[in-house]
Structure 1
Amino acid sequence: MKFGSFDQVCREVPLTVCSLLGADGNGIEPHCYARNFEFAGKLFFEFAVMVIYIAALVMGIIMIYHIKTKYTAVGRKEMVTFFILYMLTTLVEALVVSGIVPASSSIQPWFVAAHVGLLSASIWCLLFNGLVGFQIFEDGTALSLWGIRISSLIVFGGAFFVAIGTFKNMVGFLSPSNPILLWIIYFIFNGAGVLIYFILQLILVFKTLDDRWPLGDILFAIAFFVIGQVILYIFSQDICNYATHYIDGMFFGVMCTLLSVMMTYKYWDSITKEDLEFSVGGKTAQWDVKYDMGGYNNGRY
């Protein structure tokens, strides 16, 4: 992979940004891509990946529901914010990858730019959640909640501006043929955010937790993420050829990302202890009340 260039990456895997880059923004096509399919008279792409997208949205709803039921869990509202951003990122990516938003339409660059912004905002939000466990600031407070929301919005806006500026060639140093800033955001900023989050969680487990069981959850999350990225960027073309265009590396990349997110939720759940005394769903304790009535028994002394 050449610094600042999407050429090699886009030849391997059809990222959402690839159709808007290259000379004059005409797009960079992959050497091999999954077959399209027809539904209701309209062509769609990446059928297998669409199944994973739907599964990711369903799992996102389930995980948000379970997070919301842990009424007194540390970082509950902050974690919900991350999963909302993850679901929005997945939804926009599905619309672009499937072709529901046509590649030739005038709105496609805006959807792709929104996807780039949401992806970076999601990773930033995840990193912010990684700091919550260290109790640098109290979770659930206005400082914490508005801090994560405003900072994620700023990251979204910055990434969105760079992306749309690159696609539309709005500024001299932003162009489809020289997308250096977009490349830095897409790979270095996002990659560093994920890496720092995982490092912080390993430190949290070893330095502050007595229980080592959460270590397995976070290690599985790391493993799934790394495997998914390796398959996506290195073996996508080989998979596509061997599978005769039915699937490509994007299928395994999206699936492994989903598994990594699910294990991240499992990790958060395992390190979060709910205060059952204040849990709305907790069972009410049964108390046995005994009276000392002296020698009183059956109405007699």
Structure 2
Amino acid sequence: MVQFGDFNRICETVALTLCPLVGAEEGIEPTCYSRNVEVAGTLIFQPGRKEIVMFFYLYMIVTILELLLVSGIVPTASTMYPYFVAAHIGCITATFWCLLLNGFVGFQFAEDGTALSLWSIRISSFVVFAAVYFLSIATFQKMAGFDPLHPVPLWIVLYIFNGAALVIYVVLQIVLVYNTLDDRWPLGDIMFGIAFYVIGQATLYVFSVRICDTAKHYIDGLFFGTICTLLAVMMVYKYWDSITKEDLEFSVGSKQNVWEVKELLGDDEYTNQGSFGGGYPQPQYSGYNDGY
């Protein structure tokens, strides 16, 4: 049973990046861990709206840091390891925070794409990152009254703060779909995203040791948890694409693209253009008669 603020049971189940730095002086050793080098995949695309693209940039940074730490490129014995782990935890929390703020974008707390909307997310995400980075370093290095033997504040950040951010985001999106959209299909994207994330977390924290023993240490729950998290992030993109009208080269939505070329034409040219597809007005032939 996982106890509040205690990483022992968690780290015995799955080899998180912070496990060598908390608990006993030598850290907490997992019961079973994989011996292979994982290569985490990253999906590259053009999300469009700048608020959501920050979430994907942060996720990309988290993936890169996790690759460096889990694969052993930055070894646990390195003096830089605690700082990389602190950056990893800080980026994870900033990613959840950025996702939460993106949940409010649809409610127009500020016009999306404006300086107020963009910089409020950027600055607050950086502040969250800096605060969690300091908390992590202070915990690992026994600074400011924090102690790696009792890393309760770090536990609260990772599992309560981040979990609450995710739950609030999901609730906001369900409310947004029901109140402002006629189409209910985006709810399916939300449900799939939740399912992938829950399966990933269950694989990570419940079945990791069993998977590791069965696979003879070649893979563990972290492998499948990373894949499920990637799928959940892909569903965040799929959901976002389904409720917006952005023109994306790699769009995976079911709606037709709406090409906005109005700004490229003068007023007279735009009025006189024929109908060639989405975004152009229907031609007006008032008073014209050629005998047909």
Pair 1:120 & 2:123 matched: no
Deviation at 1:276, TM superposition (A): 3.2
Greater share of residues in helix: 1
Q: Which residue of 2 aligns with 1:256?
A: 228
Whole-Å separation in 2 of the counterparts to 1:217 and 1:3: 32
User: 1:51-70 to 2 correspondence within 5 Å?
Assistant: 53=40, 55=41, 57=42, 59=43, 61-62=44-45, 65=46, 67-68=47-48
Taking a change above 3 Å as real, the CA distance of residues 136 and 246 of structure 1, as seen in their structure-2 partners, is: same
| Secondary structure, aligned partner of 1:16 | coil
Taking a change above 3 Å as real, the CA distance of residues 116 and 212 of structure 1, as seen in their structure-2 partners, is: same
Deviation at 1:289, TM superposition (A): 8.0
RMSD: 2.2
User: 1:54-133 to 2 correspondence within 5 Å?
Assistant: 55=41, 57=42, 59=43, 61-62=44-45, 65=46, 67-68=47-48, 76-133=49-106
Pair 1:246 & 2:218 matched: yes
Contact 2:260 2:279 in 1 (8 A): no
User: 1:199-218 to 2 correspondence within 5 Å?
Assistant: 199-218=171-190
Pair 1:180 & 2:176 matched: no
Q: Which residue of 2 aligns with 1:72?
A: none
The sequence identity of aligned pairs, in percent, is 55
Whole-Å separation in 2 of the counterparts to 1:207 and 1:295: 50
Contact 2:262 2:279 in 1 (8 A): no
Whole-Å separation in 2 of the counterparts to 1:196 and 1:264: 14
Higher relative contact order (CA 8 A, sep 6+): 1
Q: Which residue of 1 aligns with 2:163?
A: 191
Whole-Å separation in 1 of the counterparts to 2:112 and 2:185: 23
Count of residues paired in the alignment: 267
Deviation at 1:280, TM superposition (A): 8.2
Instruction: Kindly provide the amino acid, as one letter, of the partner of residue 86 in structure 1.
Output: Y
Range 270-279 or range 86-95, more displaced:
270-279
Ranges in structure 2 where 5+ consecutive residues have no aligned partner: 247-257, 265-276
TM-score of the two chains, using structure 1 as the length reference: 0.83
Taking a change above 3 Å as real, the CA distance of residues 284 and 226 of structure 1, as seen in their structure-2 partners, is: closer
Instruction: Kindly provide the amino acid, as one letter, of the partner of residue 185 in structure 2.
Output: W
Deviation at 1:136, TM superposition (A): 1.8
> What does the per-residue CA deviation read over 1:239-270, in whole Å, with 9 as the maximum and x for residues that have no partner?
11111111100011110000000011000000
Deviation at 1:273, TM superposition (A): 2.2
> What does the per-residue CA deviation read over 1:64-120, in whole Å, with 9 as the maximum and x for residues that have no partner?
x2x23xxxxxxx100011111110111111101111111101100000000000000
Taking a change above 3 Å as real, the CA distance of residues 280 and 113 of structure 1, as seen in their structure-2 partners, is: farther
Q: Which residue of 1 aligns with 2:117?
A: 144
Taking a change above 3 Å as real, the CA distance of residues 283 and 212 of structure 1, as seen in their structure-2 partners, is: closer
Deviation at 1:283, TM superposition (A): 6.9
Q: Which residue of 1 aligns with 2:32?
A: 32
> What does the per-residue CA deviation read over 1:26-48, in whole Å, with 9 as the maximum and x for residues that have no partner?
11110101124xxxxxxxxxx3x
Deviation at 1:284, TM superposition (A): 7.6
Q: Which runs of 4+ in 1 moved over 2 A?
A: 273-296
Range 285-294 or range 212-221, more displaced:
285-294
Ranges in structure 1 where 5+ consecutive residues have no aligned partner: 37-46, 69-75, 297-301
TM-score of the two chains, using structure 2 as the length reference: 0.86
Pair 1:277 & 2:260 matched: yes
Q: Which residue of 2 aligns with 1:73?
A: none
